[in-house]
Chains A and B, each alone.
Chain A
Amino acid sequence: MDLLANLDLGLAVAVSPQNLMWCLVGCLLGTLIGVLPGVGPVATIAMLLPVTFHLTPVSALIMLAGIYYGAQYGGSTTAILMRMPGESSSVVTCLDGHAMARKGRAGAALTIAALGSFFAGTVATVLIAVASPLLAALAHQFAAADYFALMLLGLVGAVVLAHGSVPKAIAMVLLGLLLGFVGGDVNSGVQRFTFGIPELQDGIGFVPVAMGLFGLAEIILNLEKGVDVYGAIARIGSLWPTREEARRAVPAVLRGTALGSVLGMLPGGGAILSSFTAYVLEKRLSREPQRFGDGAVEGVAAPEAANNAGAQTSFVPLLTLGIPENPVMALMVGAMMIHGIQPGPEVMTKQPQLFWGLIASMWVGNLMLLVINLPLVGVWVRLLGIPYRLLFPVILLFCAIGAYSVANSGFDVLLTAVFGLLGYALAKLRCEPAPLLLAFVIGPLMEENLRRALLLSRGDPSVFVTRPISLVLLALTAVLLLSVALPGVRRLRETAFAE
């Protein structure tokens, strides 16, 4: 069979000693930078690009890919231990992952994240190997109208994300939308909320907002409380999940993998949605949604599986069309072109070693990450034992480096500080930053696709209901909206009767 022969070829390339070594180097580096808050894969790959000039193209791509998914693994570590999301996809992991850490289940949370990610990575890799062209065709069914409907669903889901009061969650969503509007409008080029500051012309970056609202705010709150040892919040506890935790995690990982595999390959923001959507789905399906935000295992397992599956399937547009769907993929294109490989649909047939070698190395890399990460869980957890007065300046320093490294911009460091203060204020007001952040990410995509859909239909709004994908997504949105609103309606009625 063709597929087996191809995989055989790929594995032969991937497990050659040289490529194994570069895969290991990439995975190690990726894990390391993923663990450093805010220092993301884009900055790291950009720094290491010159090194890859001296490698063969296959080795270069294998190493860069290793950095990419290594960072996805590592990013969850800081999210769980310090409530510090380094990557958009680890924001939701903060919610229940850090809550678990506070209860002394940090080891279990990290282990579940690593095992869930490995499982999802394996499934997604097989999926890419078997069905890349099919997956690409599926992703191509999505038009601007469908994206809009998907984003709308995500936005309503943002309200569900919230742990407490619904009006406050809606207020946070609105604030997030406003922040997302900052910058030049894609359609008209008009500047919005930029106050003549050139650094704001391209909008506010994700890293300053996420790191400020979650990480810095957390530091301020801890200092206020006079925390002296982070780990003192709780015992370190067993590193392995309990039977009960495992029972809850398994179906969540399965659902997360499926969701992440599909959403990850949608070009333009699909990957961001996958972990959020997985979390919302788990909370909706759960019989005890009140456990979410308070250390629910499903709230760690599902998004972690989803983001890793998404990280793998986001290679689909690159491998099938040569079109990069996120900045990391754009760097991979750059690396290919420097080696004289024109990325595009022809890579699969003209450079089979490269194509199948890269796919096989994805699985090898995931296995390596599991082997690297499981023993490290104990090391990371012990980090919590470091006195906080020593730990927090280091975290702060890495945050500043991370914020700066995204675009070599001092302005972004300043913005991170401002969002840190905002995050502190929100915590005092008992408003949750997660819906704000999701709306901040989704809002601009939603607007862009709404206006593009209307531009393409020449102003006819019926496109949203005549396209089947869009119609289904809008119907789901309506159902979700009702399910959020109904308990509120019932409560309102109950209070009315009581009077």
Chain B
Amino acid sequence: MTPTKALGAAVLSALLALSAPAAADTYPSKPIRYVVPFPPGATSDNVSRILAQRLSEITGQPVVVENKPGAGTALGAELVAKAEPDGYTLLNVTNATLAAIPHLVKLSYDPETAFVPLALSGDSYSYIAVNPEVPGKDLKEFIAYAQKNPGKLNFGTAGNGSLGHIYGELLKLRTGIDLVHVPYKGSAAALNDAVTGQVQVVLDPAALPLAKAGKLRALATLNAQRSPALPDLPTIHEAGVPNWNARLWFGVAAPAKTPPEVVAFLNATFNKILAEPETVEKLRALNLEPRRLSVDEIRAVVREDFATFGEIIKAANIKSE
């Protein structure tokens, strides 16, 4: 940093410090806008409504959930990235918005510096599941079958560059099997075709109810821990696939320049909410495991995911312009 810049930064932080106490004392003094870059009914939307309701009850201010879907979450994220950084505009994020989409889409904001994370509201459990007609009772046998039949099996996903696509390509990279990617518009259609056998494989959180009912056969949980919903199902590590480092989580973020006091307040408040047994129960019903991390801890998680997704997307040559 040059001396002038350092001086400028010092003056700026002094000014911020002067104005800050007032902001922290009174925040929030007006309604908070909570942007969800997905349509109503999506998991992101459900998580947001649970958190928004509690945030509103605690702060006494209305928290308005605003769905702003489009361009693979880029529209909603851009809206928040360019919003006034005063703590009155929040963004519901997934790690895909923060760490995967920047590798896939040209964005009008800098994904690495635009946001400050406030909460990690839940790790999501995803599953690899196959149509029941597909041979192989566990992941190992399935992989052996796939190796003997290269290019015969299809995996259906929610679209190009979706998490299911990234999971599928990662599986191909780690095991050397050859699966054909069949993109759909949204995971519902892909799951439907997996049940009918049009495609054989899906890698998706929403495979759970179908697996429980025997319409699909779950082969592994794509997480580091076993899923409480299917405790007998091995994790992908236990099933013998090495170095599985992709994951999905949900969180909350704000524009990067939001005053530190407000960030600290929101981080503490969200972590308080995420500790409430009733909220935890609601989130678990959505297949999520809430975590309570500091802002710096979440930043570290984002950095790790950013590198991981970058590596997979580059290695598998995933494109979604």
Contact = CB atoms under 8 A, between A and B. Distances in A.
B182 A322 contact: no
A143 B282 contact: no
Interface string B205-216: 000111011110
Contact of B183 (A186, A327, A337): A186
Interface string A181-210: 000101111110000001101100000000
B108 to A, nearest CB: 8
Given A189-B160, A330-B41, A344-B213, A337 B285 contact: yes
A339 B151 CA distance: 41
Interface string A336-374: 011110111110000000000000000000000000000
B40 A343 contact: no
Nearest to A340: B285
A186 B45 CA distance: 23
A336 B6 CA distance: 54
B286 interface: yes
B39 A343 contact: no
Contact of A317 (B67, B160, B192, B212): B192
Nearest to A407: B69
A347 B79 CA distance: 39
B160 A186 contact: yes
Contacts of B40: 42, 45-46, 49, 327, 330-331, 334
A333 interface: yes
Interface in A304-348: 317, 321-325, 327, 330-335, 337-340, 342-346
B228 to A, nearest CB: 13
B154 A49 contact: no
Given A330-B42, A338-B50, A407-B70, A186 B208 contact: no
Contacts of A199: 70-71, 75
Contacts of B108: 198
Interface in B43-63: 43, 45-46, 49-50, 53
Contacts of B285: 337-340, 342
A415 to B, nearest CB: 13
A448 interface: yes
Contacts of B41: 46, 324, 327, 330-335
Most buried by B among A184, A202, A340: A184
Contact of B209 (A335, A340, A342, A456): A342
B96 to A, nearest CB: 15
A344 B189 CA distance: 14
B321 interface: yes
Contact of B319 (A140, A189, A332, A455): A189
Contacts of B39: 42, 327, 330, 407
Contact of B75 (A42, A184, A198, A322): A198
Interface string B2-20: 0000000000000000000
Contacts of A188: 160, 319
A267 interface: yes
Contacts of B71: 198-199, 201-202
Contacts of A163: none
B161 interface: yes
Given A186-B184, A327-B41, A191 B70 contact: no
B317 to A, nearest CB: 12
Given A189-B320, A323-B192, A338-B49, A346 B212 contact: yes
Nearest to B156: A452
Interface string A130-153: 000000000010011000000000
B175 to A, nearest CB: 22
A375 interface: no
A50 interface: yes
Interface residues of A, number: 52
Most buried by A among B45, B46, B188, B198: B188
A165 interface: no
A408 interface: yes
A268 interface: yes
Interface string A166-189: 000000000000000000101111
Contacts of A344: 209-210, 212-213
B67 A455 contact: no
Contacts of B225: none
A455 B199 CA distance: 11
A323 B198 contact: no
Interface in A249-283: 267-268
Given A330-B188, A452-B182, A340 B321 contact: no
A321 B215 contact: yes
Contacts of B49: 49-50, 53, 338
B220 to A, nearest CB: 20
Contacts of B69: 202, 407
A335 B42 CA distance: 10
A337 to B, nearest CB: 6
Nearest to B180: A455
A202 B210 CA distance: 28
A243 to B, nearest CB: 46
Given A331-B40, A455-B180, A267 B192 contact: yes
A184 B320 CA distance: 8
Contact of B182 (A267, A346, A455): A455
Contact of A345 (B46, B70, B183, B215): B215
Contacts of A338: 46, 49-50, 282, 285-286
A40 to B, nearest CB: 11
A198 B183 contact: no
A402 B195 CA distance: 36
Contacts of B136: none
Contact of A321 (B75, B161, B195, B199): B195
Contact of B195 (A45, A140, A144, A332): A140
Contacts of B139: none
A198 B79 CA distance: 12
B159 A322 contact: no
Nearest to A331: B41
Contacts of A408: 66-68
Interface of B: 39-43, 45-46, 49-50, 53, 66-72, 74-75, 78, 108, 151, 154, 159-161, 180, 182-185, 188-189, 191-193, 195-196, 198-199, 208-210, 212-215, 281-282, 285-286, 319-321
7 contacts: A49-B49, A50-B53, A198-B75, A327-B39, A335-B41, A338-B285, A409-B68
Given A338-B285, A409-B68, A409-B70, 20 more contacts: A49-B40, A187-B183, A189-B159, A267-B188, A317-B192, A321-B192, A323-B188, A323-B191, A330-B39, A330-B40, A334-B46, A337-B285, A339-B285, A342-B209, A345-B214, A407-B39, A407-B69, A408-B66, A455-B182, A456-B198
Interface of A: 42, 45-46, 49-50, 53, 140, 143-144, 184, 186-191, 198-199, 201-202, 267-268, 317, 321-325, 327, 330-335, 337-340, 342-346, 407-409, 448, 452, 455-456, 458
- 4 smallest A-B Cβ distances: which pairs? A344-B209, A46-B40, A189-B320, A189-B160
